[in-house]
Amino acid sequence: MNTASLQLSIRDLDVVYESRGSAHHALKGVSLDVRAGEMLALVGESGSGKSTLGRAILGLLPESARIRHGSIRVGGTEIVGLPERALRRIRGARVALIPQDPAHSLDPVRTIGAQLVEAVHLHEPRGNTADTRRMLVGLLERVGIKEPERRLHQYPHELSGGMRQRVLIAAAIAQRPALIVADEPTSALDVSVQVQIMALLAELRHELGTAMLFITHDLGLASEQADRVAVLQHGTLCETGETRALFANPRTPYTRRLLADLPLFHEARAPRRADGPHEDAIVVSHLTYAYKGAGGRPGHKAVRDISFNVVAGQTHGIVGESGSGKTTLLRCLLGLITPDGGSVQILGQNPARVEGTAQRALRRAVQFVYQNPHVSFDPRSRAADILAEPLINAGLRDRTARAARVRAMLERVQLPPAVLERRAANMSGGQSQRLAIARALLCDPKILILDEVVSALDVSVQAEILTLLETLQQQLNLTYVFVSHDLAVVRRIADTVSIIHAGEQVEHGPTETVFSTPRDDYTKRLLAAIPGRDLMRPAVLA
């Protein structure tokens, strides 16, 4: 190995978080190397320590963290033990960060130009603003931003998510750093934008010879992008290797399980034909909804001419990127807004028209589970109260009867009874999503509307929740509407699928047919953008 080209070299790094006597061992003797022009993907689930490692490289560990021993060398300079002043000269100049969430990673009250000029002048204090702006125009062009002069005068909220991430990439490469730490740089972006951003990062890496540490939870993306992969589990590096070799032949059980849990590795759902007569739980025909524009004029049409039906006991997947009209469609299904055209029939009723007792009955029969349960629960309420609420609303006054139903439901969603005393804020993502499902089921629903319910979860937890949903569907004959941006997940769980693009239903049909023989260009593009599709079972994708 040519050590001269080593841009990042970590040896035996040990980091502990200490607070009020308790200590959390976040990194346990981690060693890794990244060479110039190389991308190392650091994969791991939440709590694995991958973000801690990224922060340690930037010298940005929180005050409660302590490096017990070990060394971090960036381009030959030892970072550990360096005083703050010296670290500041290295940050941004020798090692740069591409952050996770472009929406909140730019200062909202300052122009793009002002922020980029600042980024440059932090390291070139004698820089001339006019010269810097001229240089920035070229740099923005390089990262694929059109009309760069105009963008310099704009504020972050005037740019799309993909464009903001390009601006952040421009800021990161402005000083030609030896190493870039990219911390989940595309997890907040749509798949089609993700493809473009990852392609840009690959180009820049080869052009500038920058070493890149790519922190991700997405094994599919890592398999496609990285030269080498390092798998982190509970602060220990459990496997490092050349990407192709590692995915073809994982050595440790943990890596094997991570791969097995990838939705990509599951067969597409086999078509289920309802035997004999079947009934439709949901019928949507020619649904159109437009938001009212200024002065009551008809405004932006959020959804146009959408039609599908869902057989009772089956799952319909709805796939669309941000702004596609998914949310509007769901609001129509829930009867929260009245469609401008077409009709919605839920269990034979129009949700926007029913009133009184029938409305209450329908609302109980159609339950909604939200993407991020941490937001939809009162963080201070206990799980027991969260679960008792729907029963109290249904008029079940007897405490012992309530407790019995809650216990039975916990068993169904495979949560231990000890959870009941916990507060919502202290639960893991998987636990709170099980709790949300349990609360929905306590209303005895016929239909569950599941809005991105597994998007925020680690793959292993995601796999568990998907299996749970399948089991519950069989046991209780539930009908699901499953909204997701993740095609691999939809392919695993849905019987039929609608692809929505800019308010229009570009494709609709049995999942297997849509995935194996897509007709629409947009669907084809989406399928091609699935990260790690090479890993997919070959029988399914041609």
Partner 1 sequence: MTRYIFSRAVQALLVLWGAFTLSFVLLQVMPGDAVLIKFQDPELGLSPQQISDIRASYGADESAFVQYAHVLGRTLAGQLGYSIETGVPVSRMLHAAYPTTLRLAVVSFGGAIMLAAAFATAALLAPLRPLRAALRLVPGLASGIPVFWLEIVAIQLVSFHWNLVPVVGVSGWAAVLLPGLALAIPISAPLTQVFLATAERVTAQPFIDVLRARGASPLRILYAHVLPNALPPTLTISGLVFGEILAGAVVTETVFGLDGLGQLAQQAVANQDVAVLQAIILISVAGFVVINFTVDALHPLIDPRIRRTQAGGAA
Q: Which residues bind partner 1 (CB under 8 A)?
A: 58, 60, 63, 88-93, 96-97, 99-101, 104-110, 118-119, 122-123, 155, 157, 168, 171, 294
Which residue, 91 or 501, is less far from partner 1 as judged by CB? 91
Structure tokens at 211: 């070493």
Which residue, 171 or 469, is less far from partner 1 as judged by CB? 171
The bridge status of strand 315-319 relative to strand 211-216 is unpaired
Q: Which ranges of 177-325 would DSSP assign to H, the alpha helix?
A: 191-208, 219-225, 243-248, 253-261
CA 136/CA 200 separation, integer angstroms? 17
Closest approach, Cβ 73 to partner 1, in A, equals: 18
**283-321: b (≥16 Cβ within 10 Å) or e:** bbeebbbbeeeeeeeeeebbbbebebebbbbbbbbbbbb
Which residue, 107 or 411, is less far from partner 1 as judged by CB? 107
Closest approach, Cβ 173 to partner 1, in A, equals: 12
Closest approach, Cβ 119 to partner 1, in A, equals: 5
44 residue type, one letter? G
Which residue, 122 or 137, is less far from partner 1 as judged by CB? 122
CA 453/CA 479 separation, integer angstroms? 15
CA 405/CA 424 separation, integer angstroms? 20
Closest approach, Cβ 471 to partner 1, in A, equals: 38
Which residue, 7 or 233, is less far from partner 1 as judged by CB? 7
CA 303/CA 200 separation, integer angstroms? 32
Closest CA to 36 of 207, 193, 160: 207
Structure tokens at 395: 């008029």
Which residue, 104 or 300, is less far from partner 1 as judged by CB? 104
Closest approach, Cβ 104 to partner 1, in A, equals: 5
Residue 107, strand partner residues: none
Closest approach, Cβ 88 to partner 1, in A, equals: 4
Q: Are 116 and 200 in contact (CB under 8 A)?
A: no
Radius of gyration of the chain (CA): 25
The bridge status of strand 496-501 relative to strand 280-292 is unpaired
Q: Are 46 and 458 in contact (CB under 8 A)?
A: yes
Closest approach, Cβ 183 to partner 1, in A, equals: 10
Which residue, 92 or 320, is less far from partner 1 as judged by CB? 92
CA 499/CA 230 separation, integer angstroms? 35
Which residue, 26 or 182, is less far from partner 1 as judged by CB? 182
For 443, phi then psi, to 5°, come to -85, 5
Closest approach, Cβ 218 to partner 1, in A, equals: 19
Closest CA to 47 of 190, 182, 235: 235
Which residue, 151 or 316, is less far from partner 1 as judged by CB? 151
Closest approach, Cβ 161 to partner 1, in A, equals: 13
Burial group, residue 210, by CB count within 10 angstroms (0-12, 13-18, 19+): buried
H/E run at residue 116: helix 112-121
Which residue, 55 or 446, is less far from partner 1 as judged by CB? 55
Closest approach, Cβ 21 to partner 1, in A, equals: 15
Which residue, 91 or 166, is less far from partner 1 as judged by CB? 91
Which residue, 170 or 535, is less far from partner 1 as judged by CB? 170
Closest approach, Cβ 248 to partner 1, in A, equals: 35
Residue 28: other Cβ atoms inside 10 A: 16
Closest approach, Cβ 110 to partner 1, in A, equals: 7
Q: Which ranges of 249-379 would DSSP assign to H, the alpha helix?
A: 253-261, 326-333, 356-365, 373-376
Closest approach, Cβ 184 to partner 1, in A, equals: 11
Which residue, 115 or 240, is less far from partner 1 as judged by CB? 115
Residue 229, strand partner residues: 41, 241
C-alpha distances (whole Å) from 481 to each of 51, 312, 495, 520 are 34, 11, 10, 22
C-alpha distances (whole Å) from 41 to each of 54, 93, 181, 207 are 12, 22, 10, 19
